[in-house]
């Protein structure tokens, strides 16, 4: 958590404090709405729809959010494979890039995450990342203290 930008920490705290302070009636309404979203997602996929995993973390911790989404999809009735495809094949297809990305096949660009464990038995195995490959090359995943986010932010990531 100490590596996260202050604005992400603050936004997360504000977002989750809303739920903590919600009345029982508000929580019941939120839960009811959540159950409707789950039902829609389940029926949408059963009818042939494809779910795309989100990319805008905002108040959800970047990186962690996709894993939480996987579990939420499974809670809604999707399979682990459908959840994983929401962040891989489905996105590549939506962007018309599935000829090069989205699945492991000969001739495709080798962007790959190698995990320990079997996500079909427990989706949180996707969090146990052993290696990351981009364009066939292993990526150094260690923390770099000199890293600066290249994307302009409304609030600086770190004091200059």
Residue-by-residue pLDDT tens, the chain, 160 positions: 666 677 777 877 777 788 888 899 999 999 999 999 999 999 999 999 999 987 665 556 667 788 888 999 999 999 999 999 999 999 999 999 999 999 999 999 988 899 999 999 999 999 999 999 988 889 887 777 776 666 665 655 555 4
Q: Which residues lie below 8 Å from residue 136, measured CB to CB, with a gap of 6+?
A: 109, 110
CB-based contact 110:102 (threshold 8 Å): no
Q: Which residues lie below 8 Å from residue 76, measured CB to CB, with a gap of 6+?
A: 37, 38, 39, 41, 42
Give the rounded distance of the alpha carbon of 148 from its chain centre: 22
Query: Can you give the pTM of this predicted structure?
Result: 0.76
Radius of gyration of the chain measured on its C-alpha atoms: 18
- How many other C-beta atoms can be found within 10 angstroms of the C-beta atom of residue 130? 10
């Amino acid at each position: 958590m100490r590596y996260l930008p202050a604005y992400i920490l603050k936004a997360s705290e504000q977002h989750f404090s809303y739920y903590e302070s919600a009345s029982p009636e508000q929580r019941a309404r939120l839960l009811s709405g959540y159950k409707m979203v789950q039902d829609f997602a389940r029926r949408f996929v059963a009818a042939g729809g494809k779910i795309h995993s989100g990319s805008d973390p905002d108040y959800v911790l970047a990186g962690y959010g996709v894993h939480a989404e996987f579990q939420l999809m499974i809670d809604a009735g999707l399979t682990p494979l459908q959840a994983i495809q929401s962040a891989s094949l489905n996105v590549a297809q939506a962007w018309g890039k599935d000829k090069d990305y989205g699945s492991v096949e000969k001739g495709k660009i080798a962007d790959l995450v190698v995990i320990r464990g079997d996500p079909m038995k427990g989706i949180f195995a996707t969090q146990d990342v052993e290696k990351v490959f981009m364009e066939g090359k292993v990526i150094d995943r260690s923390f770099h203290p000199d890293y600066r986010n290249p994307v302009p932010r409304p609030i600086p990531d770190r004091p200059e």
